[in-house]
A and B are shown apart, each in its own frame.
With several copies, the nearest count.
Chain A
Amino acid sequence: MPIDKITPSVAEAVQGVKDGMTIMISGFGFAGVPNDLIHGVLDSGAKNLTVISNNAGTGTEGLAALIGSGRVTRIICSYPRSKGSDLFDARYAAGEIELELVPQGTLSERMRAAGAGIGGFFTPTGAGTELAAGKETRMIDGREYVLEAPLRADIALVQAQEADRWGNLVYRKAARNFGPVMAMAADLTVVQVKRIVALGEMDPEAVVTPGIFVDRVVHIDNNREWDI
């Protein structure tokens, strides 16, 4: 039976999302955010979610809408506040959302660790700061390092440019960002793409995320400009 990860709809692509789950969401600023999939999660009604994403959403749609809905009780990110992050800011100020702030490089390295079978790693980032409070530290070659744990998720929602039926992905420009590491770090990786290509059409030297890290692909051919 041929491998075929192409899923016909957003609703089917996000099937299985449940209350209490941890969801990774790709994107940096407005580049590479899987807005259709996020709205699929919103439509699913799942609540009490933990979101892992570099930012905390801006504007009124996408991640901001999910946070604004009150369904996200915890967020793990590096830079929640941006111009337009009002929906997050208000919930944060009101103490309605828990924030785990993680240095940005530690955030993606923890995802990679989860994806690569690393049980933990030592990094100098954050040593001696509040963000390392309570963490194990160690002097290595005269420098202080912090032990960081792998970061996994139940589901990763990723936006990419092209996919084939094996789930191979290429991205576009700086929209690549967290997609490849999130795809490695989740039990279920769901990807929205702008274009589906035939198997063998992608340059094998240029595949960024090989299909082994991808479970479902959904083709989104609208060119909607989201308010994010």
Chain B
Amino acid sequence: MSVAELELGVTKLTRPQIARRAAELIPDGSFVNLGIGIPTLAANVMPAGKDVVLHSENGILGVGPTPPEAERDRDLINASKDYVTLLPGGSYCVHSDAFAMIRGGHLDLALLGAFEVAGNGDLANWTTGDRRFPPGVGGAMDLAVGAKAIWVLTDHTTKKGEPKIVNACRYPLTAKGVVKRIFTDLALIDLTEDGLLVREMVPGLTIDALQAVTEPKLTLAEDWQELAAA
């Protein structure tokens, strides 16, 4: 089955929908960092009543959703340089303190974007090595080794349809063996000791079709569910 056919066959999640599914699964009471890209969208789609404290590495704890345009504040942006708000109970801190939270193991979870994730949990998300596109590591290496768990939120394939979940990263690594769960526009996959376990797939997708755009061997969980767009 070609990528083109796959694209015809199913409705992929949008970027906010990927973020929403991850947001739904964040345990209540967690302290969570949202990385640049799809992850920062999670702040806007947090399920009502979920008491999660969002951390932004530029020095915010308790990040709230995007403000209306009239209430934008140039001093209140997140790591993606998008306008955000502060929730009651939120606070500002010095940059090095924001990273003490990360590096000291105080974050329960970080949601990160990826160029590639390998089956063993290796993550590559800071450089393609192409000099026309300067590298940008930002806080990715700090988050990757510092947060108690790493979830990756990403499109399942590159724009050219090539797998982003690979046997071994071709791009330079951000960190080794850190990714525990991947949310894509097609599936929710856990990286377990027994390999990649598919927990959820978008309606209409088959495990074979998903395997066709994924390098490492996938196993479908017995209790797998449909990945429903919220």
Which A positions have Cβ atoms within 8 angstroms of B? 1-3, 28-32, 56, 78-83, 85, 88-89, 92-93, 99, 101-106, 108-109, 111-112, 114-118, 123-131, 164-166, 168, 171-181, 184, 199-200, 202, 204-205, 207-208, 210-213
Cβ of A108 and Cβ of B96 under 8 Å apart? yes
Known: A89-B134, A93-B132, A105-B139. A174 touches B103 (CB 8 A): no
Q: Is B90 an interface residue (CB 8 A)?
A: yes
Q: With A81-B135, A101-B135, A173-B75 as given contacts, are A200 and B89 in contact (CB-CB < 8 Å)?
A: yes
Contact of A125 among B53, B61, B87, B103 (CB under 8 A): B103
Contacts of B96 in A (CB 8 A): 105, 108-109, 111-112, 116, 180-181
Provide the residues of chain A in CB contact with B77, threshold 8 Å: 28-31, 174
When C-beta atoms are compared, the residue in chain A nearest to B144 turns out to be A125
- Is A82's CB under 8 angstroms from B53's CB? no
Interface of chain A, helix or strand or loop or mixed?
loop
Give A80's nearest chain B residue, CB to CB.
B134
B59 at the interface (CB under 8 A from A): yes
Q: Which residue of A lies closest to B76 (CB)?
A: A173
- Are B93 and A210 interface neighbours, CB within 8 A? yes
Q: Are A168 and B91 in contact (CB under 8 A)?
A: yes
Q: Least Cβ distance of B153 to chain A in Å?
A: 19
A226 to B103 CA separation, bound complex (whole angstroms): 34
Assembly CA distance A52 to B107 (angstroms)? 25
Residue pairs across A and B with Cβ atoms less than 8 A apart, 13 shown, are A28-B59, A28-B95, A89-B134, A93-B132, A99-B135, A104-B57, A105-B99, A117-B146, A129-B172, A173-B60, A173-B75, A176-B95, A177-B94
- A124–B102 Cα distance when bound, in Å, is 12
When the two chains form the complex, which single residue of B59, B62, B87, B141 contacts A177, counting CB atoms closer than 8 Å?
Answer: B59
- Having A116-B96, A124-B145, A174-B76, one finds 4 other A-B pairs with CB under 8 Å, namely A28-B58, A78-B139, A176-B94, A177-B94
